[in-house]
Amino acid sequence: MIDPTSQPGIMATLKAATAEQHRHAERHEFQQMMVRGTLPREAYADWLGQMLHLHRGLEDHLDRLVASHPPVATVFDDDRRKVPLLLADLAFYQSDGTGEALPATRRFLALLDTLAATTPLALLGALYVLEGSTNGARFIARRIREAYDLPPAGGAAFVDPYGEAQPSRWKAFKEAMEQLDLSEADTHVITAAAQETFNAVGALGSDLFEHSPHVAPPTV
């Protein structure tokens, strides 16, 4: 007989199941340009605009999920909202974020709509990826502050939402996820959604190379 307590928790399952997709997403050249601090400022603002579309869609669905599944409020509350931070950053870069959603963004928003209508707990997979991205984004924040000569309190709120509290905020998120009463089926759909979210991150980078007038992939 298998001891249920010996089974990996949701966070360990997600980390293992998304390792390949995570690796591909973070190695995408668009992401690497942010890491190196070589992404043009205007292209960074274009990326923020796409992230606004994405987070606005996800947060709207998560609000409805919290209403129907109150325990989810332990992993998503007002303190984890990114839309206000994105709007503040876009205003700093003199953009209102009303640009058209690119194809990869539209596909991902359509996926969120489907998940919300069919297996709403799967939305936690997208939240896992985007919340987890704030860990590495602190390094990106340092690079863009240097590259764009940003003031201490402007232009990097989205990529550095928690400041020095980042480790404790991630720890609290992980603990709250582990406390959710998730079935095997729930874990499966959450994991699949997390994989698709990492794929969407890479696809968005490719779309920005193709459609943004401010950046192009480096020539080999």
What are the tens digits of pLDDT across the range 114-124?
Answer: 999 999 999 99
Domain edges within the chain? 10-211
H or E element at residue 87: helix 83-92
Does residue 86 carry a pLDDT above 80? yes
Alpha-carbon distance 85 to 87, whole Å? Answer: 5
Residue 4 pLDDT > 60, yes or no? no
Contact between residue 66 and residue 166 where contact means Cβ atoms under 8 Å apart: no
Predicted local distance difference test score (pLDDT) of residue 75: 98
CA-based max dimension of the chain: 61
- How many angstroms separate the CA atoms of 140 and 143, rounded? 5
What CATH code would you report for 10-211? 1.20.910.10
Number of residues in the chain: 220
Residue 58 is predicted with a pLDDT of 98
pLDDT of residue 145: 95
pTM of the model: 0.93
Q: Averaged over 48-64, what is the pLDDT? A: 97
List, for residues 133-185, the tens digit of each pLDDT value: 999 888 899 999 999 999 988 999 999 999 999 999 999 999 999 999 999 99
pLDDT band at 3 (very low <50, low <70, confident <90, very high): very low
Indicate the DSSP class of residue 76. S
CA 91/CA 108 separation, integer angstroms: 25
What percent of the chain has a predicted confidence (pLDDT) above 70? 96
What proportions of the chain, in percent to the nearest 5, are helix, strand and coil?
A: 75, 0, 25
pLDDT, position 115: 98
